[in-house]
Amino acid sequence: LAKTTQPISMDSYEGQEVNITCSHNNIATNDYITWYQQFPSQGPRFIIQGYKTKVTNEVASLFIPADRKSSTLSLPRVSLSDTAVYYCLVGEHTGGFKTIFGAGTRLFVKA
């Protein structure tokens, strides 16, 4: 499983766009990049997954450069309710493959 590195914490203000970058230099050909969000006292929640280029859904966008050694989760116009821990995971994550969580990034959104 590829190791991931993310900032420990980030601060932002309501209405701003937040970009959280994850490094995964040893990503394998079959690996996907997946992001989860965890609010206090809740289990993690799937946000988005991608393999290359750009993926967008109603919650976030995921940018993956051609070399796939990093990825950036983009949250448009954050609100106070986006305060959470965001986990970047790299792996196959299907079938019998395990999902291993790294340290995550604690995002604090201020008014």
Partner 1 sequence: SAVISQKPSRDICQRGTSLTIQCQVDSQVTMMFWYRQQPGQSLTLIATANQGSEATYESGFVIDKFPISRPNLTFSTLTVSNMSPEDSSIYLCSVRPGLHTYEQYFGPGTRLTVT
- Which of 21, 43, 44 shows the shortest CA–CA distance to 33? 21
Angle at 59 between CA 94 and CA 85, to 5 degrees: 75
Q: Which residue, 29 or 96, has its beta carbon nearer to partner 1?
A: 96
Site string for partner 1, 36-75 (x = CB under 8 A): x----xxxxxx--x--------------------------
Q: Is 99 in the site for partner 1 (CB under 8 A)?
A: yes
One residue of 8, 67, 81, 94 binding partner 1 per CB under 8 A: 94
Interaction site with partner 1 (CB under 8 A): 32, 34, 36, 41-46, 49, 87, 93-96, 98-104
